Amino acid sequence: MNFDDYRGIWVYLEVKDGNIAPVSLELLGAGRQLADKRKTELAGVLIGSGVKPLAQTAVTYGADVVYVYDDPIFAYYRTEPYMRALLDCCEKHKPEVLLYGATPTGKDLASAIATDLPTGLTADTTILDIEEDTGLLLASRPAFGGNIMATILCKKYRPQMATVRPKVMKALPPDPSRTGRIVEEHIALREEEMRTKVLEIVRETTKKARIDEADIIVAGGKGMGSKEGFQLIHQLAEVLGGAVGASRDVVEAGWIDHHHQVGQTGVTVTPKIYFAIGISGAIQHVVGMQNSELIIAINKDPNAPIFQSCHYGIVGDAFEIIPLLIERFKEEIPKVKAAADVKEEIRHA
């Protein structure tokens, strides 16, 4: 393996609901920094059906080159055809680094590619850096349930690959004046050869606000004592019009469904306000919420690590504080609403 043949930082561009997935735009932002440091190109690989127009979007977000595989066989994600396309691209153009979002699709694809190439793959990376002169990728991630951080290297194989947690890296502001090369690629795949078929896609639109899109999240931990005690978290979330989050302990205890789990093995969230109530603040939880705009912690243990990871904290008993908060919010929120309505009326008058 001649390392000099492998050049460029690549991002696998995941397509979601007809657009490039937010995590892929974030990776273009992170990849741009790596490419600039290494003085090399940033490329995106776009696979799908009817996706060619999205290539220009990738350019505005920082890509110098976009390789496009546009074919009906890629109408929805399946490991086999997507893997064959990406392997084809890797063989032709030999990237030095290849990054994927740590989404179900990104992880599925990356695992398959790593086995076939073969090369090393670091999962759920939260910090990325590159050695300017050697091109060695420094991929760091929380390990052992978030008890430590570990930096993983892949010294003897290329490309170096990593999946990266969503909402950790920052996308660049789109720049419509940026230009880049768009390269159409083809691979001959026949539907009859595919061993899997998607029969149906079912979107589950939950009534409750989706936790990864909510502006306000009220999250509770083991400190709520029981499933019954945890109801207070639901009540506070309802008053605030927010979503309910939970620590891993709570999900494992069966107090709430794991869709609500925030942290390394759950979802990463970045709401405007995040309440961590009765949550000790293990790093595995904190990595999932640390980029929230305003983090408020309530815990009766003044030494709980959560107080290191919040903006404001209250040392106290949640069972005393939450009912008071609910009561006061019920009084005050309508006033905020009313004031806004008055302003609106004046504007229309």
Residues 110-129 touching another protein, rule: CB under 8 A, are 110-112, 114-116, 118-124
Question: At 273, is the secondary structure helix, strand, or coil?
Answer: strand
Shortest distance, position 181 Cβ to another protein, whole Å: 30
Q: Which of residues 19-78 bind another protein (CB under 8 A)?
A: 76
Helix (H) or strand (E) holding 335: helix 318-348
Shortest distance, position 111 Cβ to another protein, whole Å: 4
Interface segment toward another protein; rule CB under 8 A; list 1-9, 174-182, 225-233, 331-339: 331-339
How is the beta sheet containing 160-164 ordered, strand by strand?
121-125, 160-164, 97-101, 9-13, 42-48, 65-70, 181-185
Q: Does 147 bind another protein (CB under 8 A)?
A: yes
CA-wise closest residue to 9 among 33, 140, 341:
33
Q: Does 170 bind another protein (CB under 8 A)?
A: no
Question: At 26, is the secondary structure helix, strand, or coil?
Answer: helix
Shortest distance, position 36 Cβ to another protein, whole Å: 23
User: Which of 1, 5, 173, 198 contacts another protein by CB under 8 A?
Assistant: 198
In angstroms, the Cα distances linking 142 to 131, 196, 249, 264 are 21, 34, 18, 8
In angstroms, the Cα distances linking 317 to 153, 240, 249 are 45, 20, 19
Q: Which of residues 283-322 bind another protein (CB under 8 A)?
A: 283, 286-287, 290, 294-297, 302, 307-316, 320-321
If you search the block for the tokens 């994600």, which residue do you land on? 77
Closer residue to another protein in complex, CB, 63/90: 90
Closer residue to another protein in complex, CB, 110/171: 110
Shortest distance, position 258 Cβ to another protein, whole Å: 6
Shortest distance, position 119 Cβ to another protein, whole Å: 6
